[in-house]
Chain A
Amino acid sequence: MSQLLDLQHVTVDFQSKNGLLTAIRDVSLQIKAGETVCLVGESGSGKTITSKAIMRLIDYEHGRISEGSIVLDGVNLAKLSQHELRGLRGKKMAMIFQEPMAAFDPVFTIGNQIMEAILEHQQVKKDVAWKQAIHLLERVGIPEPTLRMKQYPNELSGGMLQRAMIAMALACGPELLIADEPTTALDVTIQSQILQLLQELKAEYQMSILLITHDMGIAAEMADRIIVMYAGRVVEQATSEQLFEKPHHPYTRGLLRSITTIDSHRGNRLFSIEGSIPPLTDMPSGCRFHPRCPYATQKCLLDEPPLFEINGRQTACWHGEQLVESEDGIGKSEVMPPIAVIEPKHDQHHSTLQRQLLFDVKGLSKAYPVGKGLLQRASSLIHAVDDVSFTIEKGETFGLVGESGSGKSTLGRVLLQLEKASKGSIRFQGLELTQLKTAELQKDRRDMQVIFQDPYGSVNPRWQIGDIIGEPLMVHEDLDATVRRERVEALLEAVGLKRGWYERYPHEFSGGQRQRIGIARAIALNPSFVLADEAVSALDVSVQAQIVNLMQDLQRDLGLTYLFIAHGLHIVRHISDRIGVMYLGKLVEIAASEELFLHPAHHYTKGLIASIPVPDPKQKREPFSLQGEIPSPANPPSGCRFHTRCPAATARCKEEPPAWQEIQRGHWVACHHPA
Chain B
Amino acid sequence: MCKRFLGRILASIVVVFGALVFVFCILYLLPGDPVLSILDPATATPEMIENMRKELGLDQPFHIQFGNYFAGILQGDFGTSLVNSDPVLPKILLHFPATLALTLASTIFSAVIGIVLGVLSAIHRNSWIDIVARLVGLFGISMPTFWSGILLILIFSVYLGWFPAMGSDGFMSLILPSLALGFVGAGFIVRMVRNSMLEVIHEHFIVTLRSKGLSEKAVMYRHALRNALIPAITIIGIHIGDLLAGTVIIETVFSRQGIGRVIADAIMARDLPVVQGVIFFSAIVYVVVNLLVDLSYSLVDPRVRRAS
Contacts and interface: CB of A to CB of B under 8 A. Distances in A.
Interface of A: 52, 55, 57, 60, 82, 85-91, 94-95, 97, 99, 102-109, 116-117, 120-121, 152, 154-155, 165, 168, 373-376
A372 to B, nearest CB: 12
Contacts, number: 85
Contacts of B63: none
A106 B204 contact: no
A106 B227 contact: yes
Contact of A106 (B207, B211, B213, B303): B303
Nearest to B6: A375
A354 to B, nearest CB: 52
Contact of A86 (B215, B223, B226, B301): B215
A106 B212 CA distance: 16
B62 interface: no
A57 B207 contact: yes
Contact of A104 (B205, B213, B215, B226): B205
B300 A107 contact: yes
Given A103-B204, A107-B223, A109-B302, 14 more contacts: A52-B207, A57-B207, A86-B213, A86-B214, A86-B215, A90-B212, A105-B209, A105-B227, A106-B205, A117-B213, A120-B214, A152-B306, A373-B7, A376-B7
Contact of A57 (B211, B216, B303): B211
B3 A90 contact: no
A168 B218 CA distance: 17
Contact of A120 (B10, B212, B223, B227): B212
26 contacts: A52-B207, A60-B207, A60-B210, A88-B213, A89-B210, A89-B212, A94-B212, A97-B208, A102-B204, A103-B204, A103-B205, A104-B205, A104-B208, A106-B302, A107-B226, A107-B300, A107-B303, A116-B212, A116-B214, A117-B212, A117-B213, A120-B214, A152-B302, A168-B212, A373-B7, A375-B10
Contacts of A94: 211-212
B303 A87 contact: no
B213 A87 contact: yes
B242 to A, nearest CB: 27
A140 to B, nearest CB: 16
Contacts of B212: 89-90, 94, 116-117, 120, 168
Closest 9 CB pairs of A and B: A90-B213, A89-B213, A102-B204, A90-B212, A152-B302, A95-B211, A117-B212, A103-B208, A86-B213
Contacts of B210: 57, 60, 89
Nearest to B230: A107
Interface string B272-283: 000000000000
A152 B7 CA distance: 24
Contacts of B213: 85-91, 117, 120-121
Nearest to A165: B208
B203 interface: yes
Interface string B16-47: 00000000000000000000000000000000
Nearest to B14: A374
A64 to B, nearest CB: 16
Contacts of B155: none
Contacts of A90: 211-214
Contacts of B211: 55, 57, 89-90, 94-95
